[in-house]
Structure 1
Amino acid sequence: MADPTRSTLPLPDYDHLPIGGLESRVRSLSAGEVEELLAYERAHADRLPVTELLATRLEQLESGAEPTSGDPGALRPESGARRAGSPVSPATSPEPFSPPPHGTPDQRGKPKGDRS
């Protein structure tokens, strides 16, 4: 099979998909499309977990499994809304706490002999 280009891959933005999200997306692809992704992966990043996932799915399809419903171009959860929360700034940071037992350059620790 010829080396597919990034723009012709059956999954949009394939190079940037996390491995966890890839498994559900390849379920909607045909055997030919999975072969295309596998060829692309082997020619480029050749990530073992991804090649194993694609090879396993290809075996399933060749053994009679059918592609399941799904939209490979659907909105990806990882590209959705940004995380909410408070921004980190000096105003939102906690007050400093006491120095570690060994001290700091401007505040020396206590010698062990003074402890009872």
Structure 2
Amino acid sequence: MTDVPEHDQLPLPDYDHIPLGTLPTRITGLDEEQVSQLLAYENAHGNRLPVVQVLEQRLEALRDGAEPSGPATPDTPEVGGSRSGSQVSPETSGPNVVPPFHGNPANPSQPEK
């Protein structure tokens, strides 16, 4: 059994904040030892069944001959503070809209004057 690593020793930065839906792609670049570290950490801390299952499946695949692919620490754009796209400001926002009267679908919303 792998010793339980500390959070700052994990092979994936911000592991605790990676969404389950992106975890399988995040761990494809990790080797067997690194996935084992994540599994030991998960079992000792969150012990979330879906996460444990993903890690165990990847570990089994690696033991069956699968090779790590891609970077060892893939980017996690949903975790960081980086933002892209247009900035919202009074100059770029749309007109103020008055919401419709509650319960009357015949009264559509009207722009403020």
TM-score category, normalised to shorter length:
0.7 to 0.9
Structure 2 unaligned spans of 5+: 105-113
Output the CA distance in 2 between the equivalents of 1:98 and 1:50. Answer: 46
Q: Segments of 4+ in structure 1 off by > 4 A?
A: 82-87
Q: CA deviation at 1:99?
A: 3.5
RMSD (Å) for aligned C-alpha atoms = 2.4
Mark the CA change 1:57 to 1:7 in structure 2 (over 3 Å): closer, same or farther.
same
Aligned length: 98
What SS is found at the alignment partner of 2:101? Answer: coil
1:110 aligns with: none
Deviations 1:11-31 (A, max 9, x none): 111111111222111111110
Q: How does 1:11-50 map to 2 (within 5 A)?
A: 11-50=12-51
By percentage of residues, which structure has more helix?
1
The one of 80, 83, 96 aligned to 1:81: 83
Amino acid paired to 1:41: E
Mark the CA change 1:36 to 1:81 in structure 2 (over 3 Å): closer, same or farther.
same
Asked whether the 8 Å contact 2:30–2:72 carries over to 1, the reply is no
Deviations 1:40-77 (A, max 9, x none): 001111111111100000000000111112241x4322
Identity rate of aligned residues, in percent?
A: 39
Mark the CA change 1:32 to 1:23 in structure 2 (over 3 Å): closer, same or farther.
same
Amino acid paired to 1:67: P
What SS is found at the alignment partner of 1:51? Answer: helix
Mark the CA change 1:29 to 1:71 in structure 2 (over 3 Å): closer, same or farther.
closer
1:96 aligns with: 99
1:66 aligns with: 67
Q: TM-score, normalised by structure 2?
A: 0.73
Amino acid paired to 2:68: P
Q: TM-score, normalised by structure 1?
A: 0.71
Structure 1 unaligned spans of 5+: 102-116
What SS is found at the alignment partner of 1:77? Answer: coil
What SS is found at the alignment partner of 1:49? Answer: helix
